[in-house]
Every structure is written in C-alpha cells, then in structure tokens.
Amino acid sequence: MIKGKEKENLSESAYRQIKDALCEGKIAAGDILSESRLAAELGMSRTPVREALHALASEGWMEIRRGIGAYVKPLSSKDMEDLYEVRCLLETFAIKTSVFNITNEEIDSLEVRFRACLDSYRTGMPPDPKGFSGLDWELHELIVERCQNTYLKTILRSNYSSMKQYQFLSFEALNDIKESTLQHLNILALMRSRDVDGLTETLQNHLNWASSLLKTHR
C-alpha cells in the first residue's frame, strides 16, 4: 500500500511539473519529450513519467508516438480565440459580483506589487516573464474565485492550465511590461471604487488586448 501511494504521488508530481513547464513555455509546441530524459531531469523512474505523459495526452496537450516519444501539439489559433472569447464573457460576468468580495487590503497588496514592476521597468530592470505572468494570473484568478457563481468558477477552473499557457505566451509575444502594468493598475483602481460598469468595460478591453498580442505573434 505504501509503495502504491508513493507511485501515485510521483506520477502526480511528474504531471504537475511537466504541465507547469508547458504553461511557462519551457516546453514548446513541436517538442518531442523523452521518458528517460524527463525521468532523469525529475529524479524519478520512467514509470511515473510515462503515466504523467499519458494523462497529459488524454487532456490534449500531446500525443504519444510509439518509438519516438511524446509529441507536444502546436497551439491552435482557433482554440486560443475560442478560449479567450469564453474567458472574456465569463470573467467580465464574474467581476460584477466578485468586486464586492475583494477587500481593499487585497487591492493594496496587488497594487504595490504592480507598481514595483512599473518602477523596475522604468529603471531598466523589468521583472522576469514568469514572475510578472504569475502576478497577472493572481489578479485574474482572484476575480474568478470571489464571484458568487459556482458553475462559472467550475468552467474557468477546468481551463486554468490552458489559460495560463496562453497568458504567458501573450506576455512573451510583446513583452510590454509598461502597458500591461498600467492596464492592471487601472483595473485595480476601478475595483477600489467599485465601479462595476467601468470595471467590466476595462477588463474586457484588457483581455481583448492580450488576445490581440497572440494573434499578432502567431
């Protein structure tokens, strides 16, 4: 029983680490992943890695090619557009209730960190893509998690990994720290004033802007 549980935990660890690498662009579309190489990098045997790869393949991230390895599927422009369209509809709906459940202290914390990003940019030392993307995601996740619609949260949670991947790529596409930060600070200011109409419109424009970066980049 103990060995079985250990095996399960290793598979989950491999799954999480490989998926994180996909979302952060460390593993790119078109890459061929070797079980033995991944096992060595993750410090585990090939069995949990194989199970993780098959789980990711079942979710559409890759396909297993016998005798070759796991092929990472290219991102579809249509999938990206469809996902951003749904995300925009649901997130702008979520903000209408979540804005009243987000505290001023949480807004303060995010605002301080976004302003620190802007200060770093202005001094010629912009934050790393992973750190900035993580901060960006934290704000958008807060918007979703504080809304009062359980079904909406379930739908968005089921697509979080793909959203993170596209979000990271949209940042990489233009690497426009200044514009992105200013947009987020504007969103936070509207949150603080509980301006639902202005916030909904601004959030929609922000998500459309992020989506346009990907379209231009592809």
Q: Which tops the pLDDT comparison, 162 or 16?
A: 16
- Whether residue 2 has pLDDT greater than 50: no
* 68: Cα separation from own chain's centroid: 29
Quote the tokens at residue 60.
């559409």
- Say how many residues make up the chain: 218
Element (H, E) at 46: helix 46-58
pLDDT at position 134:
85
pLDDT at position 38:
93
d(CA 12, CA 32): 21
pTM above 0.95, yes or no: no
Q: Can you say whether residue 60 is alpha, beta or left, with left for phi > 0 and alpha for psi between -120 and 50 degrees? A: left
Mean pLDDT for the chain overall: 85
Q: Cα 93–19–213 angle (5° rounding)? A: 50
Quote the tokens at residue 67.
């005798």
- Whether residue 218 has pLDDT greater than 60: no
Q: Report pLDDT digits (tens) over 143-199.
A: 999 999 999 999 988 887 777 776 666 665 555 788 889 999 999 999 999 999 999
5: which DSSP letter?
Answer: H
d(CA 108, CA 124): 25
Looking up tokens 């925009």, which residue turns up? 88
- Whether residue 41 has pLDDT greater than 50: yes
- Whether residue 5 has pLDDT greater than 70: no
Which residue(s) pair with 33 in the sheet?
70
